[in-house]
């Protein structure tokens, strides 16, 4: 039986490496608080839910949405691929780009 603390340590290392990759590849090595916040929230989610999470929970995290919109335009391939309506449909909501949605930055 694997040691749960060792698994959490491995997840922490994985998330740290993810933060490094995002920082290097998207933000040219410049520290971004949004990247760190996403890593912190992702780790907390893993611990609280004991790894029983799915992609919709990650996509709906405020820190993910903030990072998503903070991404430089030339690195926005993901933003082009995942349109505003697709995100809403994934969560069972229809969006017509109304003012409330734009103001809340699609926090669903």
Is the separation of the CB atoms in 39 and 16 below 8 Å? yes
Bigger pLDDT: 14 vs 106: 14
Q: How many degrees, rounded to 5, is the angle at CA 53 between CA 48 and CA 56? A: 125
Q: pTM score > 0.75 for this model? A: no
Cα 58 from Cα 41, distance rounded (Å): 9
Q: What is the pLDDT of residue 69?
A: 84
């Amino acid at each position: 039986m694997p040691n749960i603390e060792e698994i959490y340590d491995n997840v922490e290392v994985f998330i740290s490496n993810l933060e490094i990759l995002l920082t290097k590849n998207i933000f040219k090595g410049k520290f971004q608080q949004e990247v760190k916040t996403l890593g912190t929230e992702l780790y907390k989610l893993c611990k609280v839910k004991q790894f029983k999470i799915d992609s919709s929970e990650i996509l709906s995290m405020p820190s993910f949405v903030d990072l998503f919109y903070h991404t430089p335009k030339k690195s926005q391939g993901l933003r082009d691929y995942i349109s505003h309506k697709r995100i809403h449909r994934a969560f069972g909501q229809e969006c017509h780009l109304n003012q409330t949605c734009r103001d809340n930055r699609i926090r669903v």
